[in-house]
Amino acid sequence: THFGYQDIPLEEKQGRVDDVFRSVARRYDIMNDLMSAGLHRPWKDAMATALSPSRTRPFKHLDVAGGTGDIAFRILDRGGAQTHVTVLDINGDMLDVGRERVPARHAGQVDFVEANAEDLPFEDKSFDGYTIAFGIRNVPRMERALSEAFRVLRPGGRFLCLEFSKVDMPGLDKVYDLYSFNVIPQMGKMVTGDAESYRYLVESIRRFPSPGLFAQMIEEAGFRRVTWKAMTGGIVCLHSGWKI
């Protein structure tokens, strides 16, 4: 790898990730639009649509690494009056921004919990759905996060994960490399004064397992009927699984 972050001990990884999101929380939403050229919106829409919560029955959902609430609000828009979403994040600054952004029409349908994806503060079988978007890559022990997801879902519950993936389109891969190793750190520096953190995030995308391998990890956590769908030439991938 280019920058040598692979040598960072596991215990320090979370600290580094936390630094990034603490420094960027207030500018996170605008950074997302800038860096993805607005594409994070249709990607997140696709995730919420894939979940399609019931519009008529109660639906209790958990959005992990939920940050400023983008996924939660999209799920609430697709659900009914009995849909409830818990946004969980390890970073209180991100959650503060989320609390301020709750649309009036969804007040009372969402709550915010500061906790670690590796150690969820909920009882077994307490949710109908679990989502994690652009979050699992940052969790040091991914397999712990996956088995926690499995534990808190009720039988019949749905797991969805949206994450950056491997670009598999000739031509686009070159553009993407240039973009992520040069443009992203520069943009990060312009907006937050910190290019290093963004290099770290870009590198973590490179080290994330291939869709097939990640699907296997999801199965190892206990999920069944695991499938995935690449979007935008493989820039992101949506994995799905069921607790049977």
Residue ranges for the known binding site are 68, 89, 116-117
Please identify which residue in 74, 85, 89, 237 interacts with ligand SAM, judged by CB under 6 A: 89
Beta carbon of residue 105, minimum distance to ligand SAM (angstroms, whole number): 20
* 149 near ligand SAM, rule: CB under 6 A: no
Burial of residue 123, with CB atoms counted within 10 A of its CB: 0-12 exposed, 13-18 middle, 19 or more buried? exposed
Beta carbon of residue 56, minimum distance to ligand SAM (angstroms, whole number): 27
Beta carbon of residue 141, minimum distance to ligand SAM (angstroms, whole number): 9
Stretch touching ligand SAM by CB under 6 A, among 84-92, 166-174, 211-219, 234-242: 84-92
* 75 near ligand SAM, rule: CB under 6 A: no
Footprint of ligand SAM on residues 154-173 (CB under 6 A)? none
Q: Which residues are annotated as a binding site for S-adenosyl-L-methionine?
A: 68, 89, 116-117
Sheet holding 153-164, edge to edge: 110-114, 83-89, 59-64, 127-133, 153-164, 236-242, 224-231
In the complex, residue closest to ligand SAM by CB? 67
Residue given tokens 């995030």 in the structure block: 201
CB of 28 closer than 8 Å to CB of 94:
yes
* 180 near ligand SAM, rule: CB under 6 A: no
Please identify which residue in 85, 94, 120, 160 interacts with ligand SAM, judged by CB under 6 A: 94
Amino acid (1-letter code) at residue 113: V
Please identify which residue in 36, 91, 109, 180 interacts with ligand SAM, judged by CB under 6 A: 91
Q: List Cβ neighbours of 175 (8 Å cut-off, separation of 6 or more).
A: none
What is the C-alpha to C-alpha distance for residues 33 and 239, in angstroms, rounded to an integer?
23
Within 10 angstroms of residue 69's Cβ, the number of other Cβ atoms is 27
CB of 130 closer than 8 Å to CB of 60:
no
Beta carbon of residue 131, minimum distance to ligand SAM (angstroms, whole number): 8
* 67 near ligand SAM, rule: CB under 6 A: yes
* 238 near ligand SAM, rule: CB under 6 A: no
Helix (H, G, I), strand (E, B) or coil at 118: coil
Within 10 angstroms of residue 75's Cβ, the number of other Cβ atoms is 28
Beta carbon of residue 171, minimum distance to ligand SAM (angstroms, whole number): 27
CB of 93 closer than 8 Å to CB of 25:
yes
Footprint of ligand SAM on residues 107-146 (CB under 6 A)? 116-118, 133-135, 138-139
Task: Give how many residues touch ligand SAM by CB under 6 A.
Answer: 21
Q: List Cβ neighbours of 150 (8 Å cut-off, separation of 6 or more).
A: 159, 221, 222, 223, 243
Binding mask 18-57 for ligand SAM (x = CB under 6 A): ---x------------------------------------
